[in-house]
Amino acid sequence: MAAPLRLGVAGAVLSLVGIIFGFWGFHKFIAYKINQNVALKKGNDMRAAWSKFPIPVEFRIFLFNVTNPQEVHTGQKPKLQEVGPYFFDEWKEKVKLEDDPSEDTVSFNQRTAWIFQESRSEGLTGEEVVTIPHPALLSMVLTVEKQKPGALPMISKALPALFNSPSTVFLTAKVMDILFRGVPINCSSTDFGPKAICTMIRANPKGLKKLNDDIFLFSFFGTKNYTIDDGRFTVKRGVRNAKEVGTVVKFNGKEIQDVWSGPECNALRGTDSTIFPPFIDDSEDIVSFAPDLCRSLGAKFKHKIVYKGIPGNHYTADLGDMSSNPEEKCFCPTPTTCLKKGAFDISKCVGAPIVLTLPHFYETDPSYLETVEGLHPEKEKHQIFLNFEPMTGTPLGARKRLQFNIPIHAIKKVALMKELPDALVPLFWVEEGLELDQKFIDLLDSQLFMALRIVGVSKWVIIVLGLAMIGGGVGLHYYRKDKMPSTVTKVSPPPEKF
């Protein structure tokens, strides 16, 4: 084979290798490795990190201090003063893991621990005294009003014994008592009303800490701290199909909930919120199931971002609008009563009259903001957002922000509530999330993006070198042709005959 031909063939092969490997083969290899790495298979790194997250999640709590409780009892708007943040390290661990290889699933319960970080709480100690709507007192009254309104006079007479003769529906207590240590409910009375209520409390003390047979303590997080949650997840491991990793297929043994009034709202959609599938397309929502809301929430793609040199996607989420979205009508408290945009009643989920919104009523119908004073919704502070690296499904940063509110209104049959205004009063809001630190960014960069950059440059170098060799072979061929000496054959005439 002539040298120019050999050079051209070698260049063509080199270019073909560059094209096949750079544009197809390498990406197939990367996809294969990612699919293997994200699977929740026993013994791999992802399973270990998913089971027990190696770093704490940042958890901030902001309470709303009501500065005019007595005026509210005369019909005036509640005036609110935000107190916070109270900063906690939140540690999450999955326990009681049980694999089902035939279904490619793993089941688990979750244990959560909150550890207060005073040094990061901007001078707050948790011993500050605040005034908030009394969650236990109001929950009792509002639940009775909804379920057994005829019993309202009885509950009105029982309140003094249960709550130490309150003069208001507002609770004044230390922050850590409200959040973790607990405020008392007194069940020592033998009168009919409080005794009947305490009989139900003793039969089902969920959410209350039993100090003794007569005293129960109520707090927002105390009974959940360092304890195993009752909710049991069954999720896909992603061993057979990486796109299914973390997808919730059962909750408490059920493939569909029975909380809401329609199948769309009861459906289990998305992951358990602690892992997401790889190769996320911009057209796909990021969906996760939240057991504390008894529903799935979807975050929608907004725009591309770059986080510490890593390209990603930015998503935002809200609580929807059951008043106008037909698919969310089944979340309405009753078939004829729906909350307005951005408000979500979780009474059927948690058994207490709590309404969720975004903090400071951000992206919530303006009418709710008009019932109180002192709130200032801001996008940067109060929006739910998620930043993802779409190829691996790695969260680069996320902030889940939710506000817990309780409705108040006048109830003539309850002495403490005869002149209350109609208002949705915030109790507190929480921010849960993190940003991926530099150590994990460097790991992601070195294991994936460095290789992608190297291959991205190398494939063009190989292709250009191959094309140059082809060009060199062609050039050499014509160069030799031009330099080839021309030969003249001299023909002698035939000899003359004599």
DSSP H or E stretch at residue 441: helix 438-444
DSSP H or E stretch at residue 196: helix 192-203
pLDDT at 187 exceeding the cut of 80 = yes
pLDDT of residue 270: 95
Q: Which of 210, 228, 226, 230 is nearest to 218 (CA)?
A: 210
DSSP H or E stretch at residue 313: strand 310-317
Chain length of the chain: 498
Query: What does the pLDDT average to over 445-457?
Result: 46
pLDDT of residue 30: 62
Tokens describing residue 66: 């009501």
Tokens describing residue 228: 């195993």
Q: Are strands 80-100 and 105-116 parallel, antiparallel or unpaired?
A: antiparallel
pLDDT of residue 495: 58
Query: What does the pLDDT average to over 421-449?
Result: 76
Q: Which of 42, 121, 136, 29 is nearest to 84 (CA)?
A: 121
pLDDT of residue 454: 46
Other C-beta atoms within 10 Å of 82: how many? 17
Sign, CA torsion 468/472/475/478: negative
Question: CA–CA separation, 399 vs 380, rounded Å?
Answer: 11
Query: What does the pLDDT average to over 338-354?
Result: 94
Question: CA–CA separation, 294 vs 233, rounded Å?
Answer: 13
Average the pLDDT over each of 6-20, 58-72, 198-212, 266-280 and give the range with the smallest value: 6-20
DSSP category for residue 179: I
Provide long-range contacts, Cβ within 8 A and 24+ apart, for 334-340: 335/261, 340/364, 340/365, 340/367, 340/368
pLDDT at 20 exceeding the cut of 70 = no
pLDDT of residue 442: 55
More confident residue, 35 or 244: 244
**How would you classify residue 238: left for phi > 0, otherwise alpha for psi between -120 and 50, otherwise beta?**
left
Query: What does the pLDDT average to over 309-324?
Result: 92
pLDDT of residue 308: 82
pLDDT of residue 494: 59
> If pLDDT is split at 50, 70 and 90, which confidence band does 457 have?
very low
**How would you classify residue 248: left for phi > 0, otherwise alpha for psi between -120 and 50, otherwise beta?**
beta
> If pLDDT is split at 50, 70 and 90, which confidence band does 37 have?
confident
Helix (H, G, I), strand (E, B) or coil at 301: strand
> If pLDDT is split at 50, 70 and 90, which confidence band does 335 have?
confident
Question: CA–CA separation, 278 vs 296, rounded Å?
Answer: 19
Q: Are strands 105-116 and 227-228 parallel, antiparallel or unpaired?
A: antiparallel
Tokens describing residue 77: 């708007």
Sign, CA torsion 140/145/148/149: positive
Strand partners, 386: 315, 398
Question: CA–CA separation, 362 vs 346, rounded Å?
Answer: 18
More confident residue, 459 or 413: 413
pLDDT at 105 exceeding the cut of 50 = yes
Tokens describing residue 39: 């699977």
pLDDT at 145 exceeding the cut of 90 = yes
> 242, 41 in Cβ contact below 8 A?
no
E strands of 50-163, at which residues?
57-66, 80-100, 105-116, 129-133
Query: What does the pLDDT average to over 358-367?
Result: 97
Percent of the chain with pLDDT over 90: 66
Question: CA–CA separation, 248 vs 269, rounded Å?
Answer: 7
Question: CA–CA separation, 80 vs 65, rounded Å?
Answer: 6
Other C-beta atoms within 10 Å of 189: how many? 16
Alpha-helical (H) ranges within 339-449 are 347-350, 366-369, 379-382, 438-444
pLDDT of residue 205: 85
**How would you classify residue 104: left for phi > 0, otherwise alpha for psi between -120 and 50, otherwise beta?**
left
- Helices and strands (H, E) in the chain, number of each type: 14, 19
Question: CA–CA separation, 343 vs 356, rounded Å?
Answer: 6
pLDDT at 339 exceeding the cut of 60 = yes
Question: CA–CA separation, 141 vs 227, rounded Å?
Answer: 29
In the chain, the amino acid numbered 380 is E
Question: CA–CA separation, 221 vs 346, rounded Å?
Answer: 17
